[in-house]
Homo-oligomer: A and B are copies of this chain.
Amino acid sequence: MRFRVTRTGMHLPDEIETADDLASRVGRSAKWIATRTGVAERRVSRVGMDVMAAEAARTALGDEPPDLIVNASLTPIQLIPDSSIFVQRALGYEGIPSFSVHATCLSFLVALHQVGALVSAGAYRRVLIVSAEQGSVCRDPSHPESAVLIGDGAAAVVVEPCPSGATSELLAWDMKTFPSGAHLAELRGCGTSRHPNDPTTVPADNLFRMNGPGIYKKAVLAVGRMVRRVCDKAGIEPGDIDLVVPHQASGPALATLPRFGLPEDRVVRIVHQTGNCIAASLPMALHTAVEEGRLERGMTVLLMGTGAGLSVGAAILRW
């Protein structure tokens, strides 16, 4: 599958919230927060994901509009219409096909695979994928373990056909979803099951909760196997990957990657300054790597992550 990520963009809200700021609100020490999550600070947005998405998208797009807008974010503005419409509106466009892809923290990666297939087939020629999350709205201070992980932010990429003579392509793809882990990370409300108007729905149903140790245990196993599979498919050893751009799940989660043969110094890490920005984390890390000059054309880059479900996904690209 031949396509190229031609441009990237990122937006971070101005407001910084440190572990100290959070400590009293969640009843834990700043040290506890830093140790458990590896997150020293995160941004908190007072505006919706559409505004953040548009900021990131404008950097990625420049002046030239896309021919498709794919919103790859978890936190919606409202249930109907879907968030891609509000992103297009915030960008000031009209008439551009738009829809959303939802795979929680893996939304960006899943969208990239789909968009790669569409571009590769000639269906679109300039696609905006944007992930923007205002997950701070859904933090539950009475559940510190989950609440202290989340941050707000946005990132965007433009996907175009690979120019003739260039080598950009998808070398391998792997994804698995294990519903046996469905209960490990949940926001039980905002749907038909615990509808907001149902008198039995309680406020905690509308906030995010995860079982950190449960996810960690299940994810480490699944991620290890996935790294092996996706590298086998690409015919490459983990140690030969030039750059690893993981979902920024948590500091401890990122610390496990070297045990799968991925060189620690090639893992892009922003979680200490951004928190877990759900689907936006991965493209934010990607943009950061591009900006820092860590990613050059021709390099092999492994994009990978985990998502509620429990899902694991990975793509190896020749950049």
B99 pairs with A82, CB closer than 8 A: no
Contact residues in B for A319 (Cβ distance below 8 Å) = none
Known: A81-B104, A99-B106, A196-B196. A86 touches B179 (CB 8 A): yes
B81 pairs with A182, CB closer than 8 A: yes
Q: Which of B86, B102, B186 contacts A100 (CB 8 A)?
A: B102
A81 pairs with B190, CB closer than 8 A: no
B96 pairs with A99, CB closer than 8 A: no
Q: Is A300 an interface residue (CB 8 A)?
A: no
A203 pairs with B192, CB closer than 8 A: no
Known: A134-B192, A192-B134. A101 touches B104 (CB 8 A): no
A76 pairs with B117, CB closer than 8 A: no
Contact residues in B for A75 (Cβ distance below 8 Å) = 191-192
A1 pairs with B121, CB closer than 8 A: yes
Contact residues in B for A89 (Cβ distance below 8 Å) = 179, 182
Q: Which of B1, B175, B194 contacts A78 (CB 8 A)?
A: B194
Query: In the complex the two chains form, what is the Cα distance from A103 to B68 in whole Å?
Result: 13
Minimum C-beta distance from A305 to chain B (A): 13
Q: Which residue of B lies closest to A97 (CB)?
A: B175
Known: A113-B118, A206-B197. A94 touches B179 (CB 8 A): yes
Minimum C-beta distance from A257 to chain B (A): 21
Q: Is A137 an interface residue (CB 8 A)?
A: yes
Query: In the complex the two chains form, what is the Cα distance from A227 to B204 in whole Å?
Result: 47
Interface on A for B, CB 8 Å cutoff? 1, 48-49, 69, 74-86, 88-89, 93-104, 106-107, 110, 113-114, 117-118, 120-121, 123, 134, 137-138, 173, 175-180, 182, 185-197, 201, 203, 205-208, 307-311, 313
Q: Which 3 A-B pairs have the closest CB atoms?
A: A89-B179, A97-B175, A196-B196
